[in-house]
Structure 1
Amino acid sequence: MTTPPIIELTSRARDIFRLVVEGYLTTGVPVGSRTLAGGSGLNLSPASIRSVLADLERLGLLAAPHTSAGRMPTESGLRLFVDGMMQVAEPTREERAAIQSRLSEPGPIEAALEATSTILSDLSACAGVVMVPQREPRLRQLSLMSIGDRRVLAVMVGEDGAIENRIIELSAAVPPGALEEASNYITAHLNGRTLPEAARAMQADIASGQNALNAASRDLIERGIAIWSEDAARRPILIVRGQANLLDEAALSDLERVRSLLDDLENKQSVSELLAMARDARSARIFIGSENRLFALSGSSVIAAPYRDREGRVVGVVGVIGPTRLNYARVVPMVDFTARSLGQTLSKFI
């Protein structure tokens, strides 16, 4: 059934529909005619309200989970409400301060991304998600240190101050002089370049024989390139925090839905593909229940917004995942504000 435009509803139907949706999103409980007649200011009898509720149900905007249990919005009804009736509430001063405070803490870019996911989870009582920027950090220095006969610790320092460690397993022990020679050679090629750029330059240099490296140093560098490339390919592209927020009393009454939702969250590649659909949005984009294939079975909603670098290019997406019964009016602007704040924080890194 096609969802009717909001303008096709009578003013009475719009008022009753809005009250049902807002009541349900607040309490999680279907809203009945007696509740609406008692304290909503409609000045209508329960019988008149029931008649409008029945009309809204026939239009596919409301549903009655049980006989005489009141009405709740369908996914189509939620979409109509979000697109045509919802009045957003900007984040409070306290919420804005909490977001900006967490994102202003010193540390590498990874710390800012984790803080974003955590603060979104804390403030929304949902799961917070952040798609890691598609970027290749530029590197400044690399040091190699022996930690055993055939094991070497590689310490890489990025231009943004981030430090990464990798263990390199060697086929044979190398003398200390080879470690120093390889460190100096790699640092010279790494400085100011991304890892793929430096790897290509080093491979070409070694293949052409245009260097004075001995065999041990060449072996160390080639193994290092392989380890770094493999590690980069395995880096997580999604940070998820606050999954436990999804296990409320309502969710626990439907364990199959909970199991489906947690399975979906484990599939980070699919979640990332869903978030990527919000990359071209000007502001937060909302996916309700079965509107997205990934969360169709668990009946969850996703609110996601892109964040940008200093030049205005989209580099990632932030968002929340929660039940369809979440406070869209509060969470949507919160996700938007967090995306803007994260972009400002990352402007000093990317």
Structure 2
Amino acid sequence: MSAAPPITELSDRARDIFRRVVDGYLANGLPVGSKSLAQAGLSLSPASIRSVMQELEERGLLASPHTSAGRLPTERGLRLFVDGMMQALEPSADERAEIERRAGAGGPVEEALAATTAALSGLSACAGLVMVPKREARLRSIGFVPLGPGQALAVLVSADGSVENRVMALPPDMGLSALAEAGNYMSATLSGLTLAEASRRVEQDLADGRAALDGAARDLVARGLAVWSEDGGRRPVLIVRGQGRLIDVAAAADLERVRDLLDDLDGKQDIAQLLDSAAAGDATRIFIGAENNLFALSGSSVIARPFHGAGGRVVGVVGVIGPTRLNYARVVPMVDFTAATLARLMG
């Protein structure tokens, strides 16, 4: 997509009409016609307004759907609006209080992140997103639950009370006593350690002969640590809340686009890579439609901002995803405030 022209290249009249078209479209998702603009107080005839709208269309800033005589902004036009014309609307006191309340509810960090993301989703009428690196949990216990021949459930309880489960394959001849022996050893010996520390401890115990484990239990300990370590290092934690808010009245007329957007959200690895690109700087990033290949079909926008922890290090990215016609002036400051709130939580 070619860059939008500088706002200074537009006449005052063209800027005014362009802003009114964008405001009208973002408010209701419908094309804006010259007649409605004339009736809204512009001291121009509908013919003069149509002439200016035609000029804006030729510049690639407006488009005319086949089903309507009105115009709507293109993705190029939305970029020009966001970068050069938008007047931010700061969150209200109630909105700020709701975000802070959900962030400060206590409990495991991931629960606070999920709750804050849900609040952002509700207030912005978009789906909320937050991504943080996979935390190095400190272990409270690891146990194994038999599921049947050749399978067991590895259950990890972290020091903060969170619980995660993984199904793992076992040798067909492994008995219940090996599961119990391995679980008892790991819970008694590895409590309080991270997975990396636990792996080094087990390796050293086995080398020094301090781990009184038979061959089957020793193998199970190694498998159990491997399944957690490999999974934890493979990808960040991505939390998505409020997908249902993407299906509103206007979207009902474009169900194919909504289906594409929901498919995008199911591809969490792709979304995580997009958010990771937003973590590179300190400012809010706005991705509009086909500016990112991920949203070429769904015509979606993402607003994302990194947040920092102790020492100023970036520890995550928070944002929203919604249709390109979302209320940028309201949502951008809301994402900024949420990022600042999460920075205090993680600091």
Determine if the TM-score, normalized by the shorter chain, exceeds 0.5.
Answer: yes
Q: Secondary structure at the match of 1:174?
A: helix
Instruction: Report how far residue 153 of structure 1 moved.
Output: 6.9
- State the match for 1:184 in structure 2: 188
Question: What TM-score, normalized by structure 2, do the two folds share?
Answer: 0.87
Instruction: Report how far residue 102 of structure 1 moved.
Output: 0.8
Which 10-residue stretch deviates more, 326-335 or 223-232? 223-232
| 1:6 has 2:10 as partner | no
Q: Deviations over 1:18-60 (max 9, x none)?
A: 11111111121111111111123x3222222111111111111
- State the match for 2:17 in structure 1: 16
Instruction: Report how far residue 117 of structure 1 moved.
Output: 2.1
Q: Secondary structure at the match of 1:315?
A: strand
Distance 1:22 1:149 in 2: 60
- What root-mean-square deviation, in Å, do the aligned CA atoms of Structure 1 and Structure 2 show? 2.7
| 1:35 has 2:39 as partner | no
> Per the alignment, do residues 311 and 50 of structure 1 end up closer, same or farther by CA in structure 2, a change over 3 Å counting?
same
- State the match for 1:213 in structure 2: 212
- State the match for 2:254 in structure 1: 254
Instruction: Report how far residue 258 of structure 1 moved.
Output: 2.2
- State the match for 2:266 in structure 1: 266
Q: Which amino acid aligns with 2:274?
A: L
- State the match for 2:74 in structure 1: 74
- Alpha carbons 1:303, 1:335 under 8 Å: kept: yes
Distance 1:203 1:322 in 2: 48
Distance 1:4 1:279 in 2: 27
| 1:85-100 pair list within 5 angstroms | 85-100=85-100
| 1:1-350 pair list within 5 angstroms | 2-40=3-41, 42-66=42-66, 69-137=69-137, 139=138, 141-142=140-141, 144=143, 154-158=155-159, 160-164=160-164, 171-174=174-177, 180-187=184-191, 191=192, 193-206=193-206, 208-215=207-214, 218-232=218-232, 237-347=237-347
Which 10-residue stretch deviates more, 62-71 or 147-156? 147-156
> Per the alignment, do residues 180 and 93 of structure 1 end up closer, same or farther by CA in structure 2, a change over 3 Å counting?
same
Number of residues paired by the alignment?
339
Which 10-residue stretch deviates more, 103-112 or 66-75? 66-75
Q: Which amino acid aligns with 2:99?
A: I
Instruction: Report how far residue 274 of structure 1 moved.
Output: 1.0
Distance 2:133 2:104 in 1: 18
Distance 1:260 1:71 in 2: 24
Instruction: Report how far residue 154 of structure 1 moved.
Output: 4.9
What is the identity percentage for the equivalent residue pairs of Structure 1 and Structure 2? 56
